[in-house]
Amino acid sequence: MEEFKKYNKNVKILKNKNSIKAEYKHQNILSLKGFEKAKKMIKTWKDYKPTKLENIKDIAKRTNVKAIYYKNEGTRFGLNSFKALGGAYAVANLLINELAKIGINANCEDLIAKKYIDATKNIHVTCATDGNHGKSVAWGASLFGCKCTIYIHADVSINRKNEIEKYNAQVLRVDGNYDESVKQASVDALKNDWFVVSDTSYDGYLEVPKDVMQGYSVMVDEAITQLEGIIPTHIFIQGGVGGLAAAVCSYVWEKLEDKKPIFIVVEPEVANCLFKSAEAGKPVVVDGKLDTIMAGLACGEVSLLAWDILKEGSDFFMTVNDDSAKDVMRLLASQSSPVIAGESAVAGVSAFLTASLDEEKRDLLKIDGNSIILFFGSEGDTDKEVYESIVGKSSEEILNENQFK
């Protein structure tokens, strides 16, 4: 664990001067009522089951905290990512709403059964992605019976492109970064009369991302239920555009009220739009290549809806570097019960480990021997080649070796 001390000079911590402890009042964006609707639908999908909540006792002992829990999303619907809950849920709602416009009162079971395929096959959905969200939208389009085109940026790996194409989606690569692919998807959707199903919100595009984020809240509810009355003192969560962080924050804020944990949003140091926005007190765009191995977090522009929640609901913002993320992936893989964590899943763990080994940062974040830390491991090995190049073994090798210990 001592190896994480060397990253202290890289980690930045910003205390959010605008955080509030008041009652949650953002139900117009995300709510427990909206969660109940999402849960009711998602639980009807084939192979739905809660993902595992890992109790990582060894790391808890070595960092001198009471407990560490890691919500492992690497098995979600076979897509290896929490994103399966968001994009597909938004696609289902979009199709149901479009069918209602032509007098068809459909539900999700009707879509899965392809009952109205003559109508849905003419509906075309699209989005931009770093990999996982696009795969969820493509999976949802295939599951519910509509057409799909996904935009990827220059740095999305060929393996992630291939994973999206498995679901019969057309995949188009755009020069530039993630934010430029978002803009291209929007332009082409307007030109072709397609429907954008994005996980980020911007001026003039606010409704669909609510469904995407609300789908994520099913994961949060699972974790809180699995804790069986234990209330975490801290949640470290990945940043990106802020959708995941806002979904987690909104749920625990409304559900736990005055027992809401200390909430820390973590980003790569080169893609820190939430950190910069908190620093400025307003949304800030981070330009450039945004070159980080944490591909799902390589975002330069915040989601406006997510920001509305996080600007008050987050207590701290932090940044970490790529090397620390690699070390976390290897550390989790080496546990007595190995955890397969992808590059974008470990930013929060990296921030915690580094801060927990520094007395000043530990005090600032109020981490002590009674702390109960909750992480949301947002993906498994979504790019198997990248995973093996970092960890040194494939996930299959790691899990097979563990069977014979």
What pLDDT, in 10s, does the model give residues 71-107? 999 999 999 999 999 999 999 999 999 999 999 999 9
Q: What is the pLDDT of residue 1?
A: 73
Q: Over the stretch 13-30, which tens digit does the pLDDT of each residue have?
A: 999 999 998 999 999 999
Q: How confident is the model at residue 9 (pLDDT cuts 50, 70, 90)?
A: confident
pLDDT at 105: 97
- Does residue 60 surpass a pLDDT of 80? yes
* Residue 118 scores a pLDDT above 90: yes
What's the pLDDT at 120?
98
Token digits of residue 244: 């995941």
Q: How many helices (H) and strands (E) does the chain have?
A: 17, 11
Domains of the chain (ranges plus CATH)?
2-81+210-403 (3.40.50.1100), 87-198 (3.40.50.1100)
pLDDT at 331 over 80: yes
Highest mean pLDDT among 153-157, 286-290, 307-311: 307-311
Q: What pLDDT score does 288 carry?
A: 83
Share of the chain above pLDDT 90, in %: 90
pLDDT at 5: 83
- CA pair distance 398, 11, nearest whole angstrom: 29
- Residue type at 187 in one-letter notation: V
DSSP bridge partners of 13:
318
Percent of the chain clearing pLDDT 70 (strictly above): 99
Distances (CA, A) of 255 to 83, 187, 244: 22, 38, 17
More confident residue, 318 or 178: 318
Residue 388 has pLDDT above 80, yes or no: yes
The residue count for the chain: 405
Q: What is the dihedral of CA 144, 138, 224, 206, to 10 degrees?
A: -90
- Provide mean pLDDT across the span 47-72: 97
Cα(335)–Cα(315) distance, rounded to whole angstroms? 30
Residue 405: pLDDT band (50, 70, 90) is: low
pLDDT mean over 312-327 = 97
* Average pLDDT, rounded, for the chain: 95
Which pLDDT score, from 0 to 100, does residue 10 have? 86
* Helix (H) or strand (E) segment spanning residue 54: strand 53-55
Cβ contacts of 280 within 8 Å, gap of 6 or more: none
Please say whether the dihedral angle defined by the alpha carbons of residues 269, 272, 278 and 279, taken in this order, is positive or negative: positive
Q: What is the pTM of this model?
A: 0.95
Instruction: Inform me whether the pLDDT recorded for 40 exceeds 70.
Output: yes
- What's the pLDDT at 22? 93
Compute the distance between CA of residue 347 and CA of residue 336 in angstroms, rounded to an integer.
21
Specify the pLDDT at position 316: 98
* Least confident interval from 8-12, 47-51, 268-272, 401-405: 401-405
> Which pLDDT belongs to residue 8?
84
Mean pLDDT on 282-305: 92
Closest CA to 100 of 111, 113, 85: 111
Sign of CA dihedral 10, 11, 14, 15: negative
